[in-house]
Amino acid sequence: MSFFGIGLQLGGAYSDRLVGPIHILLNRVFDECMDKSRYATELDEFSIVFRVAGAGNDFDGGDGCEYLKKIRGKDEITIDYVILEKKWQEYMVPVKARLVDKIIRYDIISDEKVYEFREYIADAVRGCYKQLKGKAKKLGYSFDEEKMDADFKKAINQFLIEELPKM
């Protein structure tokens, strides 16, 4: 099990073409780069749950980091990160059905736009990580912060340069 987990909850059907491959890549690089045994800690996991707003759920209009908490009875700290529907739609173009004025899917605009979205996600992960570490310290967990930060930075750099998986 990875020390740094990334979850995903979609509030609608259209964002998965953009967010799905990013979610897979994030989990892979953090699994490869962050090894709990290097940090000398009782903590079992940091996790981020990306909640991507859509037509089915806007997650109460949230935006950004929310609900930083320790999981009761476990040595895990988690935080939610809400991505507004209008945010992910900036990187995609709606495709409408020919005979009716109804959006049937969203297509990715360009590779450059996908990279811009990856940078947005990397910034979100950095902000969440800072809050997760702060909460761990506040709760009295000890860890080798220098090693953890170095591994985190390596994972983010790898996320930004690796090719996204095909879906």
- Is residue 164 a part of any domain in this protein? no
How many domains does one find in the chain?
A: 1
- Is residue 166 a part of any domain in this protein? no
- Is residue 116 a part of any domain in this protein? yes
Give the SS3 label for residue 7. strand
> pLDDT digits over 97-141, tens only?
777 777 766 777 778 888 999 999 999 999 999 999 999 999 999
- Is residue 125 a part of any domain in this protein? yes
> pLDDT digits over 23-48, tens only?
999 999 999 999 888 887 899 999 99
Closest residue by Cα to residue 83 from 75, 70, 92, 74? 92
pLDDT at 124: 97
Whole-number Å distance between alpha carbons of 46 and 2:
9
Q: What's phi and psi for 77, nearest 5 deg? A: -125, 135
pLDDT at 113: 86
Q: What is the percentage of the chain residues whose pLDDT exceeds 70?
A: 96
> pLDDT digits over 4-25, tens only?
999 999 887 788 888 999 999 9
- Is residue 126 a part of any domain in this protein? yes
Q: Could you tell me the two tokens for 67?
A: 């609900």
Q: Write the single-letter amino acid at 72.
A: R
Residue 100: which domain range? 4-157
Assessment of whether the complete model's pTM goes beyond 0.85: yes
pLDDT at 17: 86
- Is residue 133 a part of any domain in this protein? yes
